[in-house]
């Protein structure tokens, strides 16, 4: 396989940066979590936000999973619909970006 030489005007190549501030919990990719989340959604079929009657789409951790001691604690979980789940995670991500800039 031929090696590629960079041209002098191209500069150094930077690693791809996703902009993600925190790491993702590795437990999301396990059968245990998927089965647990599926059962949680069956038991809690409606979004937890007051006034919202949409079906549950996300099993959301109230305290971020990387900061809590037990990711399977029912007291730290809430069912969220698609809209509220995305607005919550988007708001958390934006808050982290703002804190990072300071």
pLDDT band at 89 (very low <50, low <70, confident <90, very high): confident
Residue 67 has pLDDT above 50, yes or no: yes
- Over residues 73-87, the mean pLDDT reads 93
- Those residues with Cβ within 8 angstroms of residue 25's Cβ, 6 or more apart along the chain or in another chain: 65, 66, 71
Give the residue, 37 or 2, on which the prediction is more confident: 37
Give the residue, 18 or 58, on which the prediction is more confident: 58
Which H or E element spans position 60? strand 58-61
Single pTM value for the model: 0.68
Q: What DSSP character marks residue 2?
A: P
């Amino acid at each position: 396989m031929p090696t590629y030489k960079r041209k002098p005007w191209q500069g150094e190549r930077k690693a791809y940066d996703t902009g993600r501030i925190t790491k993702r919990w590795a437990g999301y990719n396990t059968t245990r979590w998927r089965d647990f989340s599926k059962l949680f959604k069956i038991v809690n079929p409606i979004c937890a936000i007051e006034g919202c009657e949409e079906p549950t789409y996300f099993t959301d951790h109230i305290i971020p999973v990387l900061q809590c001691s037990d990711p399977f604690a029912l007291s730290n979980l809430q069912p969220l619909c698609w809209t509220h789940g995305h607005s919550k995670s988007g708001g958390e991500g934006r808050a982290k970006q703002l804190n990072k800039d300071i």
